[in-house]
Structure 1
Amino acid sequence: MAAVAGATAAGVCLAVGSASAGTISGPLYRDPTSAVVRWVAANPGDSRAAVIRDKIASQPQARWFANFNISTAQSEAAAYVDAANAAQQIPVLSVYQITNRDCGGASAGGAPDLNQYQSWVSNFSRGLGNRTVIIILETDSLALLTCLNSNEINARNQAISTATRTIKSANPNAKVYLDAGHSTWNSAGETANRLRAAGVQYADGFFSNVSNYNPTSSEANFGRAVISSLNGMGISGKRQVIDTSRNGGASGDWCGDDNTDRRIGMYPTTNTGDSNIDAYLWVKPPGEADGCRYTAGSFQPDLAFSLANGVPNPPTTAPPTTPPPTTAPPTTPPPTTPPPTTPPPTTTPPPTGNGCSASVALNQWSGGFTASVTVTAGSADINGWTVTITLPSGAAVTGVWNAQASGTSGTVRYTNVGYNGHVGAGQSTNFGFQGTGTGPGATASCAAA
């Protein structure tokens, strides 16, 4: 029920900076080899390409581990995690290998038996490194039990509990979330019972709305009810992650292959502003089919365009996730000293030849900021750029879009992604980042590749 390459869905790092409400902070990993990124690169002249590039390909999404192969599990996990670690970003890995997954439906597959499942999990876990990773463990495995008898349910619960502990033992910094279905499936109380039986006490919490369309507000309310039920069972400290990859439009029937009223929801972030929610994630990659009209898990540009068309671009400035301070304004007027006639420079000198410049526009609020960076080519085209930004003491980057970041504080280097490396002579492109602390005072320089 969780449409991925080779399977379809129905029913449905590195920790940096300070926590932004949940237990995770830092930028999520954007895979430069994902299906949507490859499609954009291969189809620059397609009329849909710009919308798909700016609103989907620019965003971090989960990598699904759905093809069962014990011998390659470790190397596949390590390759993905190592790439994310090199970018100093947090990878999201969706494990979809449980025996008899999807009750033999459109997403049938996974391990032939639970002993082989545990062997796969053990090898997979050895590839996770020791930095923060987010594990979405077995979509639909607890919400969908209709095809299992009581002995099979008990065996599955034990398998998921063991898998959770295996992953946490291999990488204590792994954040593991178990299946809670979604807000219009099982009740919160029943969901909590199933989570408890599957060992949620060993996990960091639960995920909901994977491959589904329920509004974020409904999922958050559902999550609070599940947490309350777990607390009543003596299981405390658990948090939720919500799949917002396509819940910005119509809800209802699970299959999105034929529905043009679906839209992408909130852009992925760990900065949720909600102490119960660790992240809003794109677990189901937007544009990948459910298996109703197209092959399950295949990337379809018409689906991606339908989801993204008319949706605002990722913000270059973001409102604070916490309300502004309620401190009363000063009772004395501000000083009347005129401001300096020339502000301190935040740009490199105008480029000449095959060079580039970078300018930074900042939006500061209490405890955080966002930055929009404009990269401008000189008198000749450039085919790649690196912007170096020196942040004030105490500032830390927690998110980035339209660029790859190296570092999170002090001197941070941003390099282009595949689709915005070429900038015509005298033309500009943009990227942005958000952070904690104080942004004003940041300086920028640009170098062309």
Structure 2
Amino acid sequence: MANPYQMREGFYVLTDTQAHRWCKTEFHAGRTTSERWVVWDKIAAVPQARWVGPAPIEPQIDEILDAAGETNTLPVFVAYAIPFRDAGGGSSGGFRDVRSYQAWAKSFARLVGVAPAVVILEPDTLIHMPGLNAEQRKNRLACLAYAVQAFKQYAPNTYVYLDGGDGRYNSPESLAPWLLQAGVADARGFAVNVSNYNTNGMCQDFATELRDLLGLPDVGYVIDTSRNGNGPPPDSYIRANPSTWWGNPPGRRLGDRPQYVGANGFDAKLWVKLPGESDGPYGVAPHSASSEFLPRVAHGLYYGR
């Protein structure tokens, strides 16, 4: 398999995120506040992942692949359409059955084709396995394993990363068997810390242990560094908000910008979660909806407040 990171120069910058649209609206309204500058320069201009759900995907994928080709940059996608997505939580949705999902995954892989790309395959799918019944687990593994094989067959220059947990609340011992059953041996590896806050060091230690347990010397991993600049919230905050601490906690900060690492299985730092988009009505955004862009949240991530 070719290394897509080495086939392009840097990562593709999306041009139609909610952060982009907000900045353009502010500009056309004649407002050039420091808040707009922060959102534009520190977030919108940074390469981020395109989350792809069940809706018709051909136009958006083709557009990004064409633009990435013209700029000689590498696009990052998040496949996010698994049945019983987010275990019915705030980001619920996805396809209703395995067959529909598999058809979608095959279409996704064929659309990407020979273009270099990175795909984060269904964040949260494996960390939620303990809460699923036997039939749901069987279906989930069937979806993931099929998707891995589809990308292997139709998208030979794509690195696929399965759900590798957050690096703090999911043990390597619990995740390794699920990763093996989901087909990690035929993927590039796993993604750690998606939409979470754990430091790079915490994630690297976790990923190293997980790699050892998998027994696959060629497996790699990526870390979502979009919001881990200050690490996770303090334990006192987590204890006070045991079921919602992960939702827009105060004091978090933007992490390292995306970059290819390529050392000891650590492939890259990526911005998978789009900074400024709410986790739901929690923390510093109590009246927001999941995935709603809020400039004050984006601004807070820059200043760490």
TM-score normalised per structure 1: 0.61
Aligned with residue 215 of structure 1, among 199, 203, 225: 199
1:321-336 aligned at under 5 Å gives the runs none
- 1:60 is matched with 47
- 1:284 is matched with 273
- 1:373 is matched with none
1:251 has 2:238 as partner: no
Q: Is the 8 A contact 1:14 1:26 kept in 2?
A: no
- 1:263 is matched with 253
State the distance in 2 between where 1:307 and 1:136 align. Answer: 23
- Per-residue CA deviations over 1:261-311 (Å, capped at 9, x if unaligned) read 0001111111x2632211100000000000123111111100000001269
1:167 has 2:148 as partner: no
1:38-117 aligned at under 5 Å gives the runs 38-44=21-27, 45-66=32-53, 68-69=54-55, 72-117=56-101
What amino acid is the match of 1:260?
P
- Per-residue CA deviations over 1:304-337 (Å, capped at 9, x if unaligned) read 00001269xxxxxxxxxxxxxxxxxxxxxxxxxx
SS in 2 for 1:93: strand
Q: Say how many residue pairs are matched.
A: 285
1:372-391 aligned at under 5 Å gives the runs none
- 2:116 is matched with 132
- Per-residue CA deviations over 1:393-423 (Å, capped at 9, x if unaligned) read xxxxxxxxxxxxxxxxxxxxxxxxxxxxxxx
SS in 1 for 2:111: coil
- In the TM superposition, residue 130 of structure 1 has moved relative to its aligned partner by 1.0
1:10-49 aligned at under 5 Å gives the runs 15=4, 26-44=9-27, 45-49=32-36
Do the aligned partners of residues 31 and 260 (structure 1) sit closer, same or farther apart at CA in structure 2, a change above 3 Å counting? Answer: same
- Per-residue CA deviations over 1:130-154 (Å, capped at 9, x if unaligned) read 1210000000001112432123212
State the distance in 2 between where 1:102 and 1:43 align. Answer: 33
- In the TM superposition, residue 25 of structure 1 has moved relative to its aligned partner by 6.5
- In the TM superposition, residue 250 of structure 1 has moved relative to its aligned partner by 4.3
State the distance in 1 between where 2:3 and 2:156 align. Answer: 12
TM-score normalised per structure 2: 0.88
SS in 2 for 1:167: helix
Q: Is the 8 A contact 1:125 1:170 kept in 2?
A: yes
Q: Is the 8 A contact 1:94 1:137 kept in 2?
A: yes
- 1:368 is matched with none
Do the aligned partners of residues 197 and 132 (structure 1) sit closer, same or farther apart at CA in structure 2, a change above 3 Å counting? Answer: same
- In the TM superposition, residue 51 of structure 1 has moved relative to its aligned partner by 1.7
Aligned with residue 192 of structure 1, among 160, 163, 176: 176
- In the TM superposition, residue 126 of structure 1 has moved relative to its aligned partner by 2.0
Do the aligned partners of residues 256 and 151 (structure 1) sit closer, same or farther apart at CA in structure 2, a change above 3 Å counting? Answer: closer
- In the TM superposition, residue 14 of structure 1 has moved relative to its aligned partner by 8.9
User: Which structure has the bigger radius of gyration?
Assistant: 1
SS in 2 for 1:127: helix
- Per-residue CA deviations over 1:150-176 (Å, capped at 9, x if unaligned) read 232122112101111102211100100
CA RMSD of aligned residues (A): 2.0
Q: Is the 8 A contact 2:8 2:72 kept in 1?
A: no
Higher strand proportion? 1
Gaps of 5+ in 2: 239-244
Runs of at least 4 residues of structure 1 off by over 6 A? none
Q: Is the 8 A contact 1:241 1:278 kept in 2?
A: yes
1:220-231 aligned at under 5 Å gives the runs 220-231=204-215
State the distance in 2 between where 1:250 and 1:280 align. Answer: 15
State the distance in 2 between where 1:95 and 1:302 align. Answer: 28
1:309 has 2:296 as partner: no
Do the aligned partners of residues 273 and 15 (structure 1) sit closer, same or farther apart at CA in structure 2, a change above 3 Å counting? Answer: closer
SS in 2 for 1:201: helix
Higher helix proportion? 2
- In the TM superposition, residue 123 of structure 1 has moved relative to its aligned partner by 1.6
Aligned with residue 293 of structure 2, among 292, 295, 299: 299
1:183 has 2:164 as partner: no
What amino acid is the match of 2:273?
K
Do the aligned partners of residues 16 and 139 (structure 1) sit closer, same or farther apart at CA in structure 2, a change above 3 Å counting? Answer: closer
1:350-389 aligned at under 5 Å gives the runs none
Instruction: Using the aligned pairs only, state the percent identity.
Output: 35
